[in-house]
Amino acid sequence: MTSIGKPFQQRKRALQYAEENGLLKLGEGSSRRVFMLTPKLALKIAMDDDGRSQNKKEDVVYNKTHSPVITKVFKNSDDYTWIVSELVRPVKSDNEFYDLTGININDIRCVLFIATPQSKDVYASSYNASMKLKIKQSHYDLLENDFVKDLIDLVKKTKIAVYDIDRIQQYGVTTDQRVVLLDFGI
Ligand SMILES: Nc1ncnc2c1ncn2[C@@H]1O[C@H](COP(=O)(O)OP(=O)(O)O)[C@@H](O)[C@H]1O
Ligand SMILES: [Mg+2]
């Protein structure tokens, strides 16, 4: 089999597995389809090369950082056609996000802007003018918040795209009630 044909076959097998076992489809993004494997595990199947590279990055980021603010990655196929991740449910609302983390989702940008050099560049060029980042003293106080500390730590240790971690859709809640990023492959 050619190297191009192998991921195709692997994907076919993984999708077949999901179908034959009646796995519930949890969602689909630009390059991956996600199923519930067990009540605690998600199966993320890459639909193309981009999806495989996202799967690989999530595995690498998790194993490099063991950060509590991302989904754990437990298993992968050798070519990253699929990974098995910690299952999450969507965050219900901004209020729930606040209750679980102690930070308002809309303040994430300001906090990252203050604390991480790489986001400064991104926000300065794209967000700062258009979205009027208003940094207040309260944002500096948030640097003591545990969730914020973990998020900043993650951004500093990885090349994670900061503009992808400031929206509520990027987060989920784990079965042990952690708020985590669920799509951090970029
Ligand atoms: N670990 C997970 N647990 C539960 N649902 C998930 C998980 N990861 C992703 N999903 C769901 O699948 C969708 C697509 O996954 P995502 O990681 O965003 O893929 P893509 O990289 O293709 O955008 C998400 O929007 C979410 O609804
Ligand atoms: Mg996505």
Q: Is 91 in the pocket of ligand 1 (CB under 6 A)?
A: no
Would the pLDDT of 105 be above 50?
yes
Q: Is residue 186 part of a domain?
A: no
Domain stop point among 64, 89, 114: 89
Contact criterion met (CB below 8 Å) for 100 and 145: no
Residue 128 CA, ligand 1 centroid: distance in Å: 28
Q: Is residue 149 part of a domain?
A: yes
Would the pLDDT of 124 be above 50?
yes
* Per-residue model confidence as pLDDT tens digits over 46-57: 999 999 999 999
Tell me what pLDDT residue 131 has.
Answer: 58
Enclosing H/E stretch for 82? strand 82-86
More confident residue, 49 or 185: 49
Give CA–CA dist 180/86, Å, rounded: 10
Q: Which residues does residue 82 pair with via DSSP β-bridges, in sequence order?
A: 45
Enclosing H/E stretch for 43? strand 41-46
Domain that holds residue 44: 5-89
Q: What is the pTM of this model?
A: 0.91
Tell me what pLDDT residue 1 has.
Answer: 47
Kindly report the protein residue whose alpha carbon is nearest to atom 17 of ligand 1: 183
- Residue 73 three-state SS: strand
Together in a domain, 155 and 108? yes
